[in-house]
Amino acid sequence: MSIVSNLELIRSTLPAGVGLVCVSKFHPAAMIREAYMAGERLFGESRVQELCAKHEELGDLTDLRWHFIGHLQTNKVKYIVPFVDLIHGVDSPRLLREINKEAVKVGRVVNCLLQVHVAREETKFGFSPDELLAYMEQGEWRACSGVRICGVMGMASNTDDVSCVRDDFRRIQEVYLQLKHLYFSDASSFCELSMGMSGDYQYALECGASLVRVGSSIFGHRVY
Ligand SMILES: *Cc1c(COP(=O)(O)O)cnc(C)c1O
């Protein structure tokens, strides 16, 4: 299968209005260019150095938008803040503060999603639903003028048990709807629910995902 035909297949399953983040990590810039030529504009990377190198290499594609989807270390925030379009995985108050600080420095407002952790795996990053609600209640985020909180990101458990995957996505959606209701009912920019990858995005769509992050179904398997 080619990138173009993979994209056609995936596109045919996405409702209008759902954004496709083409997860290009570990794949060369030439493959990103191919997807771009096929009409894609959102690309997701999970390592800062790799993202910066590709941003430079593909600098001629001026309307290509870079999403950072991995765990972001605070000491690397400054490298991506000048150009990143959306940071999906804001998983701590400290990271949000750091993004804000660097964004203010360069005069940007950086779009961010708060990562909520519901999956079984203990190693995954993110706020638990309770931690996230407590953080929002506490209110420090309101003073962060360099950050625009646009929604919530999450991952389902890594399991073949579809009912477990659906439960996880439902819980992430509930957190999103709660935050929308409590803090962002007037904010049209709070509209993104990022969940679903190659193996489970169809279930995420059932639970209201507005952005899906698809890598291997587009670009093939990654060689780490
Ligand atoms: C790698 C990655 C994806 C894409 O995974 P695929 O299974 O290749 O579609 C999605 N989200 C995050 C956070 C990732 O790190």
CA-closest candidate to residue 88, choices 202, 197, 178, 207: 197
Checking DSSP bridges between strand 86-90 and strand 65-68, what pairing results, if any? parallel
Whether 70 is in the pocket of ligand 1, judged by its Cβ within 6 Å, is: yes
Residue ID of nearest Cα to ligand 1 atom 4: 215
The domain segmentation of the chain, as residue ranges, is 3-11+19-219
Please give the pLDDT value at position 82: 98
Whether 198 is in the pocket of ligand 1, judged by its Cβ within 6 Å, is: yes
Q: Which two tokens stand for residue 68?
A: 């950072």
Cβ atoms within 10 Å, residue 166:
16
Distance CA 200, CA 43 (A): 19
CB 164 within 8 A of CB 170: no
> What does pLDDT average to in each consecutive run of 10 residues of the chain (224 residues)?
95 97 98 98 98 98 98 98 98 98 98 95 87 98 98 96 97 98 98 98 98 98 82
Please give the pLDDT value at position 49: 98
Question: Residues near 120 by Cβ (< 8 Å), separated by ≥ 6?
Answer: 157, 158, 159, 164
Distance CA 36, CA 64 (A): 8
CA-closest candidate to residue 154, choices 108, 185, 121, 184: 121
CB 21 within 8 A of CB 42: yes
User: Rounded to two decimals, what is the model's pTM?
Assistant: 0.97
**In this structure, what DSSP letter does residue 186 have?**
T
For residue 55, the one-letter residue type is H
Pocket perturbation via mutation, ligand 1, pick of 67, 168, 213 by most ligand atoms within 8 A of CB: 213
25: alpha, beta or left? (left if phi > 0; alpha if psi -120 to 50): beta
Please give the pLDDT value at position 223: 77
Distance (angstroms) between ligand 1 centre and the Cα of 214 equals 6
Please give the pLDDT value at position 117: 97
Whether 69 is in the pocket of ligand 1, judged by its Cβ within 6 Å, is: yes
CATH number 3.20.20.10 is the correct assignment for the domain at 3-11+19-219: yes
Residue ID of nearest Cα to ligand 1 atom 11: 213
